Amino acid sequence: MFNRRHLFFASLLPWQAAFANERFEVTYTDAEWRKRLSAEQYRVLRKEGTEPAFSHPLNNEHRAGTFSCAGCALPLFASATKFDSGTGWPSFYKPLDNAVATRVDTDYGMRRTEVHCRRCGGHLGHVFDDGPKPTGLRYCMNGVSLAFAPQAK
């Protein structure tokens, strides 16, 4: 049974305290975020949700271009770093410089590294250490958190 005691102890977890103290360049009220984003984008970007695997078209995007934050348009990943991880989410081995930030995520009884946009704090996904060379990292991103702009010809 989940009760107020659980909420109290959860509020003491270090990751929640760290998140509460973070400040971002792009900020909106909750009502403004709801107006700017689709319901699914809001659920993922602002409430740290996850879209179903293999559900977003950007998983199959293979053109040259840039993947940006759907919340604030900050460029996040170059298409040259995208690879097919077989997980059902767009995956990259390296973000652009100064694009993302991370924090420890202990939801669901496991320890993971959550990735968010460094400019607006929008939840993007998680990073794992099972990616390809040269970094060995797999930035597993929610497609709904991203926007894609093809490279100009």
Closest CA to 124 of 110, 112, 135: 112
Q: Distance between CA atoms of 73 and 59, rounded to whole angstroms? A: 18
The residues near 16 (Cβ < 8 Å, ≥ 6 apart) are: 10
Give yes or no: 72 in active site: no
Q: CA end-to-end span of the chain, whole Å? A: 58
For 5-37, give one letter per residue: b (16+ CB within 10 A) or e.
eeeeeeeeeeeeeebeeeebeeebeeeebeeeb
Task: Yes or no: say if 70 and 78 are a contact pair by the CB < 8 Å rule.
Answer: no
Catalytic residue among 69, 72, 117, 140: 140
State how beta strands 82-83 and 91-92 pair.
antiparallel
The residues that are catalytic are 140
